[in-house]
Structure 1
Amino acid sequence: MTEREPMDKADFKKSLDAYQAKRDQFRLVDVPEQWYLMIDGHGDPNTSPAFAEAIEVLYPVAYTLKFASKRELGRDYVVMPLEGQWWAQDMAAFTSQRDKSRWDWTLLIMQPDWTTPEMFDAAVAKVDEKVRAKGGPARLGDVRLETLAEGRCVQTLHVGSFDAEAGTLARMHDEFIPGRGLRRTGRHHEIYLSDFRKVAPEKQRTILRQPVEEVRG
């Protein structure tokens, strides 16, 4: 590659159908198996130190992998947005009661399919080397690289605050899904197209996704 031949930068938000959604329009999408950086936690995302620590550790690993891919493989890409899977022992605590203290979660950042465990291990070691003297990120050892295969899902784009999701979720869960002869499986999944640390709540854009399966018999 010469200086006159710039490296193409892949943007999977634009090229993958699983990251396309329109506001207040529910649609079925088949989500393929994909690699993700993952880290687990529990509790209110607004007050739990573990939630902030999880974000602080995911991004350094994600960007270290991106730069390694560009440098070593000649493959550059836009780092994907933060995502989250959310659930509770009683899902009413999530969908209607919104009792955030009872929520469990896994934060994720999707990785290209050419990412390998060896690349991940090298990225974690590099981040650890850089931050060891500074005493962070605290949860580096909790990050993992795994695949997730959600298959058939229903999703839509929600614009507004997270606390305003309840009505959209009620329509998805109680109207659209059963109306198509489907039932929920797996965990509620959110894709944060907006950085909620910087964007006003009323302008936040979030894909809401729910894995489903056909009701048989």
Structure 2
Amino acid sequence: MTDKVDFKREIDAYRARRGRFSVVDVPDLRYLMIDGHGDPNTTRAFTEAAEALYPLAYRLKFASRRTLGRDYVVMPLEGLWWADDMDAFTAARDKSRWDWTLMIMVPDWIDDGMFIEAVGELAAKDPPRRLPEVRLDRLSEGRCVQTLHVGSYDDEAEVLARMHHEFIPDNGFRMTGRHHEIYLSDARRVPPERLRTILRQPVSGSVSARNETN
């Protein structure tokens, strides 16, 4: 049995600083993914999506440890967010207009066969309602701008406005992909003012910018 791997420590893109916009090159990564639409606070589909991802992520971890002798820390929940008008995230914050993909990263050594087997095992024992909708897919983000937000999810708008409308255009970038959030804290156990969330935006353009205090 090898040592347990914590990819939050191994992958630079899972580190960010509060009060600083950083430019990072994110490697291609594999995720368990499930899609949805609407306000995450009121849409049952959002809760059901998380309920499908977590048990599958843990089943894959245990299968990896048992069959491959490779153990790892289950990664945090992540989300891709988008809308027809991206101001829905910064100005209006109209969550009913949001589309999303919830995700949990898994190691590259988790292959399609292990995924299919884990889904089958979970389906045989009181499966989560949205389990059939979960897929194993790769995300390619490349160059991104990101920062660490500490506080309530509803307080992200000001930071995102500075990221989208100041730092990104001022440094010759343009937004190219979907807004990405990495939830480093468990919202069920951590008070809103202490939640730690990496806010990430894929970009293209300038290669000269690296960091800027926000």
Q: Same fold (TM over 0.5)?
A: yes
Q: Which runs of 5+ in 1 are unaligned?
A: 2-6
**Where does residue 111 of structure 1 map in the other structure?**
106
Aligned counterparts of 2:180 and 2:99: Cα–Cα separation in 1: 12
Alignment of 1:159-178 (within 5 A): 159-178=150-169
Q: Which runs of 4+ in 1 moved over 6 A?
A: none
- Counting matched residue pairs gives 206
**Structure 1 residue 42 displacement after superposition:** 0.3
**Structure 1 residue 130 displacement after superposition:** 1.6
Aligned counterparts of 1:41 and 1:9: Cα–Cα separation in 2: 32
**Where does residue 17 of structure 2 map in the other structure?**
22
Q: 2:176 aligns with which of 170, 175, 185?
A: 185
**Where does residue 211 of structure 1 map in the other structure?**
202
**Where does residue 137 of structure 2 map in the other structure?**
146
Scaled by the length of structure 2, the TM-score of the pair is 0.94
Scaled by the length of structure 1, the TM-score of the pair is 0.93
**Where does residue 40 of structure 2 map in the other structure?**
45
Deviates more, 1:9-18 or 1:88-97: 88-97
Q: 1:202 aligns with which of 183, 188, 193?
A: 193
**Where does residue 82 of structure 1 map in the other structure?**
77
Aligned counterparts of 2:96 and 2:117: Cα–Cα separation in 1: 35
When the two chains are superposed, the root-mean-square deviation of aligned CA atoms in Å is 0.9
Q: Which runs of 5+ in 2 are unaligned?
A: 207-214
**Structure 1 residue 198 displacement after superposition:** 2.0
C-alpha distance after superposition, 1:34-82 (max 9, x if no partner): 1000000000000000000000010010000000000000000000000
Aligned counterparts of 2:178 and 2:21: Cα–Cα separation in 1: 17
Query: Quick one: percent identity of the two aligned structures?
Result: 68
**Where does residue 121 of structure 1 map in the other structure?**
116
**Where does residue 4 of structure 1 map in the other structure?**
none
Aligned counterparts of 2:70 and 2:91: Cα–Cα separation in 1: 44
